[in-house]
Amino acid sequence: SSDSSIGKQVNHEIIGIDPGAGLMKQTAQVLKDYDLKDWKLIEGSSAAMAAALDKAYKDKKPIIVTGWTPHWMFAKYELKYLNDPKGVFGKDEQIHTIVRNGFKKDALSAYTMLDRFEWKAEEMAVVMSDIVEGKKPEEAAAEWVKKNGTKVDNWVKDLTKEKGKKLKLAYVAWDSEIASTNVVKIVLEEKLGYKVEMLQVEAGPMWAGISDGSADAMVAAWLPTTHKDYFDKYAGKFEDLGANLNGTKLGLVVPKYMNVDSIEDLKT
Ligand code: PBE
């Protein structure tokens, strides 16, 4: 009955994240394509979304959030993605490393390290979980780097050490990117002698900053779907060094205790 509909249970609200995220644009498209007229997508941040999820989960209350993998929340809670039969959230994606034009000539060892940088979703998850359990991002990243010496050594093998040359890494405060950007920062500093500044920005300014040269690099580009608008807008104004992580997913996420399996079920 309509009284017990999922829409009524959650007040027709989907808890979103920062408005610049590709995930937000995709979710807005979902509302259109699935004809979810009464529904609202609530803007906020990754941290606010996670806090809302935590609160609802503890009370076994219904909630729908915008979510993605890799993310610590799938280890901490029993969650499921709602099926997306129309495929609005896209299929295979990777996280790419992007640098500004001219970066190779200005900082060859950093460029080469960033070009070699790749890791697995499970490795990123270790850093993310340490952070959510209370470690500072730079501590969690430093510990991961220490424990994964063989892998890290391959990223920096035979590269020249600098003496405090400055670099700027742009990133958005998405949990996945807080983890990856901190790991890359530690490697560039401890293994290659750079002095790295991390610039926390929104998604649009992150792409703009690489494209106008005010930032050097980022490891936070979700392609080919999630950041397609940004990728197309700035085409030719950056260099794509390819994937640093495979096996991502995006979508609408609910606790497993909720009796709903598909985005199509939100209509009734
Ligand atoms: N995310 C995490 C980002 C990319 C990384 C899925 C929230 C986005 O939607 O743009």
63 in contact with ligand 1, CB cutoff 6 A: no
Residues 184 and 110 in one domain: yes
21 in contact with ligand 1, CB cutoff 6 A: yes
215 in contact with ligand 1, CB cutoff 6 A: no
Check whether 2 has a pLDDT greater than 90.
no
Task: Give the pLDDT confidence score for residue 92 in this predicted structure.
Answer: 83
Residues 207 and 139 in one domain: yes
241 in contact with ligand 1, CB cutoff 6 A: no
pLDDT digits (tens, 9 = 90+) for 149-190: 999 999 999 999 999 999 999 999 999 999 999 999 999 999
Residues 103 and 224 in one domain: yes
Task: Give the pLDDT confidence score for residue 1 in this predicted structure.
Answer: 42
- Nearest residue (by CA) to ligand 1, atom 2, is 174
Among the atoms of ligand 1, which is closest to the Cα of residue 24? Answer: 9
Residues 79 and 114 in one domain: no
155 in contact with ligand 1, CB cutoff 6 A: no
Residues 48 and 106 in one domain: no
Among the atoms of ligand 1, which is closest to the Cα of residue 175? Answer: 2
Residue 128 to residues 15, 39, 73, 209, 261, Cα–Cα distance (Å): 21, 31, 9, 25, 27
Q: What is the ipTM of this complex?
A: 0.96
pLDDT digits (tens, 9 = 90+) for 84-138: 999 999 888 999 999 999 999 999 999 999 999 999 999 999 999 999 999 999 9
250 in contact with ligand 1, CB cutoff 6 A: yes
Residues 59 and 150 in one domain: no
| Cα of 161 from ligand 1 centre, angstroms | 33
**Domain limits for position 57:** 2-89+249-267
Among the atoms of ligand 1, which is closest to the Cα of residue 26? Answer: 9
Q: Which residues pair with 240 in a beta bridge?
A: 98
Residues 79 and 134 in one domain: no
Residues 221 and 158 in one domain: yes
pLDDT digits (tens, 9 = 90+) for 162-171: 999 999 999 9
CATH of the domain at 259: 3.40.190.100
Neighbours of 132 (CB within 10 A): 15
| Cα of 21 from ligand 1 centre, angstroms | 5
Q: What is the mean pLDDT of residues 220-249?
A: 97
Rounded to the nearest integer, the mean pLDDT of the chain is 96
| Cα of 248 from ligand 1 centre, angstroms | 10
Task: Give the pLDDT confidence score for residue 3 in this predicted structure.
Answer: 52
With cut-offs at 50, 70 and 90, classify the pLDDT of residue 268: confident
- Nearest residue (by CA) to ligand 1, atom 4, is 222
Residues 209 and 160 in one domain: yes
Domain total in the chain: 2
| Cα of 2 from ligand 1 centre, angstroms | 33
CATH of the domain at 104: 3.10.105.10
Check whether 253 has a pLDDT greater than 90.
yes
Residue 175 to residues 6, 75, 128, 137, 267, Cα–Cα distance (Å): 28, 14, 7, 10, 31
Residues 180 and 134 in one domain: yes
Q: What is the mean pLDDT of residues 1-11?
A: 80
124 in contact with ligand 1, CB cutoff 6 A: no
| Cα of 58 from ligand 1 centre, angstroms | 25
Check whether 4 has a pLDDT greater than 90.
no
What is the 3-state secondary structure of the chain? CHHHCHHHHCCCEEECCCCCCHHHHHHHHHHHHCCCCCCEEECCCHHHHHHHHHHHHHCCCCCCEEEEECCCHHHHCCEEECECCCCCCCCCCEEEEEEECCHHHHCHHHHHHHHHCCCCHHHHHHHHHHHHCCCCHHHHHHHHHHHCHHHHHHHHCCCCCCCCCEEEEEECCCHHHHHHHHHHHHHHHHCCCCEEEEEECCHHHHHHHHHCCCCCEEEEEEECCCCHHHHHHCCCCEEEEEEEEECCEEEEEEECCCCCCEHHHHHC
| Cα of 10 from ligand 1 centre, angstroms | 23
Residues 160 and 196 in one domain: yes
Higher-pLDDT residue of 41 and 91 is 41
Residues 58 and 7 in one domain: yes
